[in-house]
Amino acid sequence: MIKAIYYNFNDNGEGSEGERWLRYLDGRCFPDDKPLRLEDAFEWVLVTSKITPEAFCGWRPIDNMPAHAFLSRAGVLPEARGQGLQKFMIDLREDAMRKAGQVRSITYTEAYSVASMRSLMACGYKPFEPTKAIVHKIVVSKDRWKQMVYWKKSL
Ligand SMILES: CC(C)(COP(=O)(O)OP(=O)(O)OC[C@H]1O[C@@H](n2cnc3c(N)ncnc32)[C@H](O)[C@@H]1OP(=O)(O)O)[C@@H](O)C(=O)NCCC(=O)NCCS
């Protein structure tokens, strides 16, 4: 059974057990990327089908776009992939978004990230052409925005 383990990262602050897991998972899942920044998500969630965390994900409302939210970084340990953890994490974040009053979920993937794209399609996401304003609000790396595929779904 897949389950979510919630830590309140804001209250626990730097150095908490939850943050240590988050940084460990991020390092294993994104060895070539800059480390995640806690402020890039409103809520981070750790997920597992075992006892200790095997995956992580985050989401946040999009500034100045009422009722729009962004699926932030998500990663699954290589040894835990292919059992639906990412799709579970998409559903989980959509539930949280709905509870927070959001009506549309937006995200992007690298153009080569087939596993992510398949999960998003399976969960009902459609690719779209973003406005510059949206790109500004969600893409961290300004020089790579054209290499991304953008996805949206009405909640
Ligand atoms: C992308 C990632 C999160 C997927 O996690 P996962 O738990 O294995 O995903 P799921 O099991 O929910 O689903 C993956 C889907 O992609 C498919 N898939 C996986 N690897 C694939 C590959 N190399 N080529 C084609 N399809 C692939 C699976 O069959 C599944 O498809 P389905 O829904 O049609 O059955 C994981 O591979 C990962 O952490 N990658 C590194 C970090 C990353 O790229 N994160 C996402 C960007 S933020």
**pLDDT digits over 23-81, tens only?**
999 999 999 999 999 888 999 999 999 999 999 999 999 998 999 999 999 999 999 99
CATH of span 3-154: 3.40.630.30
Does the CB atom of residue 82 touch ligand 1 within 6 A?
yes
> Angle 114-122/85-99 helices, nearest 10 degrees?
50
**pLDDT digits over 78-126, tens only?**
999 999 999 999 999 999 999 999 999 999 999 999 999 999 999 999 9
Alpha helix stretches (DSSP H) within the chain: 9-12, 17-29, 85-99, 114-122, 132-138
Does the CB atom of residue 28 touch ligand 1 within 6 A?
no
Q: How far apart are CA 48 and CA 120, in angstroms?
A: 19
Confidence of residue 8 (pLDDT cuts 50, 70, 90): low
Would you list the domain boundaries of the chain? 3-154
**Ligand 1 pocket test target in 81, 90, 93 with most atoms within 8 Å of CB:** 81
**pTM assigned to the model:** 0.94
Q: How far apart are CA 150 and CA 155, in angstroms?
A: 16
Q: How far apart are CA 136 and CA 41, in angstroms?
A: 16
